[in-house]
Amino acid sequence: MVDKVVVRSFGAAETVTGSCHLVQIGKLNLLVDCGMFQGHVEELNYESFGFDPRDIDYLIVTHAHIDHIGRIPLLVKRGFRGKIISTCPTRNIARIMLLDAAKVMEEEYRVQYRKALRRGHPEDVKPPLYDEDDVYEAMERFKITLEYHQPFKISDYLTITFKNAGHILGAVYVEMNVKINGNIRTIVFSGDLGMKERLIIKPLEFSNNGQIIFTESTYGNRRHRSLKESIKEFKEAVIKSFEDGGNIVIPTFALERAQEILYVLRHMYDRGELPKCKVFLDSPLAISATKIFLQFPEYFNEATRKMVQEGKNPFIFPYVHFTTTVEESKSINAVDSGAIILAGSGMCTGGRIKHHLKHNLWRPESSVIFVGYQAKGTLGREIVDGAKTVKIYGEEVAVKAKIYTINGFSSHADQPVLLEWLKSFKDREVVYIVHGEPEVMEVFSSTVRNQLSVKTHIVKKGEGIYIT
């Protein structure tokens, strides 16, 4: 007999990264996600998890973004020997995302170590959290894959079910049906939620089953521009840019956003709207992710599935070139006009995009189209904020290219959709708010209380939440 459930959040509590929620049900210990802390809180990755990884029986993964999976190899390295539960797409994407993270950490470590060595203080540089071998070992723990709506009985008092979160390929929110003191209680963990309109994947689904709800609040204080408006704006930017005769550089996140942009360009091509050009997907990670997308057409929305059934590839058409090697990437720089270059990182903090910006940013005939959020302190944010010059690889580069910012491609639900999702739970009792910046959480918490007449609580890191 279980008399209570205790939930403690050791990440994504009053911040948007490091998602990690410990759920204790009797003697059973589950984690929902084990993400990496990013940005100004990344030092937290080196601290204790807040629990002993050896005590965890199951890890439930909602989706394969690094802020939800990035510390899984570290969890295994520190003793986790339980089973990981996810959808099949999430497992496959997690592999490429974690291998890329290990590679990036190793490269960054080597750069910083050489600098510290020259200063005479190599001990100042922390080693990578894990390496590629640790990733391969972690992937061995992905033991159970579930489909949407497939109940999975973990014990006599716990059954979990995945519902479509509409966020990225394979993303879920988790319904836990727990028998507490003889009564069934449903606890919901949102993971990250998407919008009701999605270009490629099936949109967010709504549910009526859930009393205790842990919800993300990333954009809990704002409304997104509609997808239709954003696509129209994107098309206009592409056509206008080619009229000017230069190249188009698009900083692109490898997972979901790269595929969405290729999808829009494919439709432009089919309708005769796209001028003759070369479209370069210059990101090995995005290329790998695109191949994984094509393995799971059953997760696509109706329109995209229909394309596949008609024998059309949603992402590849005659103008598209995948560039995997460094040599292929460098050869793009010889193209003076008529190129659309999609490359990472999405915020221009590293990767191949910096080389393409260096070669095109100073050219008045070229354009840069931003299709994703640019965080404070990033090169992308500098450009979006109107900097006249920026520093790239130590060189001052003038910003003469035309800059477009299109904000409606977000894979995160905005405030109206989050509210509608919460409203769908007819027997809701308490809404616990995670995965948001403090000021956004305050706004969202107040809005939920006022509009839905339900109790809310902003979760603090490590605090015990008792459910009876």
Can you give the three-state secondary structure of 176-207, one letter per residue?
EEEEECCEEEEEEECCCCCCCCCCCECCCCCC
Q: What is the 3-state secondary structure (H, E, C) of 409-439?
A: CCCCCEHHHHHHHHHCCCCCCEEEEECCCHH
Instruction: Quote the pTM value.
Output: 0.94
In tens, the pLDDT along 143-162 reads 999 999 999 999 999 999 99
Verify cis geometry, omega within 30 degrees of 0, for the bond prior to 86: no
In the predicted structure, residue 100 carries a pLDDT above the cut 90: yes
pLDDT-derived band at 96, boundaries 50, 70, 90: very high
Which percentage of the chain shows pLDDT scores above 70?
A: 100
Instruction: Please name each of the domains of the chain with its CATH number.
Output: 5-222+411-467 (3.60.15.10), 227-405 (3.40.50.10890)
Confidence of residue 1 (pLDDT cuts 50, 70, 90): confident
pLDDT at 38 over 90: no
Classify strands 339-343 and 367-370 as parallel, antiparallel or unpaired: unpaired
* pLDDT bracket for residue 248 (50, 70, 90): very high
Is the pLDDT reported for residue 376 higher than 80? no
DSSP 3-state assignment of 462?
A: coil
Q: 189 pLDDT exceeds 90?
A: yes
Nearest alpha-carbon partner for 367 in 277, 280, 274, 247: 247
The pLDDT score that the predictor gives to residue 408 is 86
pLDDT for res 373: 81
Helix (H) or strand (E) holding 8: strand 5-11
The answer, yes or no, to whether residue 425 has pLDDT greater than 80, is: yes
Q: How confident is the model at residue 315 (pLDDT cuts 50, 70, 90)?
A: very high
